[in-house]
Amino acid sequence: MAGNDTIFALSSGNPPAGIAVIRISGPRAADVLELLGGRIPRPRRASVMRLRDPADRSLLDETLVLSLPGPASATGEDCAELHLHGGRALVARVQQVLSRIDGLRRAEPGEFTLRAFRNGRIDLAEAEGLADLLSAETELQLRNAQALSEGVLSQRVQAWREELLGISARVETAIDFADEEDAVSLDAGFAGDCLQLAERLGEWLDAPRAEILREGYRVAIGGPPNAGKSSLFNALIEEDAAIATPIAGTTRDALHRPVALGGVPFLFVDTAGLRDETGDVIEAIGIQRAADELARADLVLWLGEPGQGPDEGWQIATKIDIEPDARAGADFRVSSATGEGIDALRKALVDQAREAMPKPGQIALHDRQAGLIARAHDALVDAGANHDLLLVAEGLRRARTAFDQLLGRTGTEDMLDALFGRFCIGK
């Protein structure tokens, strides 16, 4: 991605639409407005302009435009927006005209946000929150993404970093005044201050991870062949996604369905029936995959004999319309055919999943973020327990480097492409 180019892209939804917004960012943004509209409007004021093709002066559209000079813009560069009428032909024609202007090119996915990051308009933690915001499908995902994109984590990390700099200054002062004959020790409260900061970091590490928000609370349905797993799977997701027949071994592979229940994201997994022996090679592969899915799940709904499923799983009695007294001691008794007990099971699943999700006001960290905070935590614990001034200073430096990497101030090149590749074109 060449940073000196001027880029453009449709940043609103695909046409047809009432309005189509084309965003332009880079050194030629104002020139584009003058080429198409004959003038540069007042900054940050919506202005009506007649836009024309510079090649033959034919009318493109009469519409609102915005001139947004940098650095006080979304990307930190000169920007412009064309708020066109949202027909497909018009949007395509304007983009063709823009692509013919020297120095302009179509933006790559996430390039606007990448420029905002490189120009200091947002930090890396905020960019990760914005990526989550674009993909949020449930209320919980939305709230967490908004908190990250609005800088809640960034502000906390900056406060930790400022506190760490104060602690580090005490060490540097002790090192400066030490001589080879007289050892200089740190003040009595130094170790306690390191551990108190580490404890505050530990509280954030105890929170649920963002991955469970993004992927959903994973519920696997397991048991022997013909136990009603696929029927229960279909009943829970309210869709005939799995083939359910009286023939044992119908399900050969794991089937996944993401579903939102009560505003909570779930990933339901239907698995092949488990049995000790089978002469079918394909079924044997399905059985192994089923075992793997049960091991990965946050919760297993077990439809087999009591005591044979995972210790933390829920025992489910199915087909109670046919066998009313079957497994009377099960955690839940349901009928996928009549729907009896399904609502109660679904509600219990939502309650269980909410306990694993972030609480109000709590931020769910990405694995990358959690890993760096854990690194800073461990470095602070080491620094507080050490007595060698140089080793203490090194521990504090490692903690500070972790904070800088978390915000994207250093050591981020290896993951920028992966992050910004998650964005759509025009963002």
Binding residues for (6S)-5-formyl-5,6,7,8-tetrahydrofolate, by number, are 23, 81, 121, 427
Q: Give binding residues as ranges.
A: 23, 81, 121, 226-231, 245-251, 270-273, 427
Which secondary structure element, helix H or strand E, spans residue 87, and what is its range? none
Neighbours of 347 (CB within 10 A): 12
The length of the chain in residues reads 427
Please, is 167 exposed, middle or buried when counting C-beta atoms within 10 Å of its C-beta (0-12, 13-18, 19+)? buried
Q: Give binding residues for Mg(2+) as ranges.
A: 230, 251
Encoding tokens for residue 370?
């959690």
> In three state form, how does the secondary structure of 112-139 look?
HHHHHHHCCCCCHHHHHHHHHHHHCCCH
Q: Give binding residues for GTP as ranges.
A: 226-231, 245-251, 270-273
Asked if residue 119 lies in contact with residue 77, where contact means CB atoms within 8 angstroms, the answer is: yes
Going through 100-187 in order, the beta strands assigned E by DSSP cover: 104-106
Q: How far apart are CA 102 and CA 87, in angstroms?
A: 26
The sign of the CA dihedral 268, 295, 333, 226 is: positive
Q: Give binding residues for K(+) as ranges.
A: 226, 245, 247, 250
Q: How far apart are CA 288 and CA 38, in angstroms?
A: 68
Cis, peptide link before residue 360, omega less than 30° from 0? no
Encoding tokens for residue 195?
């551990």
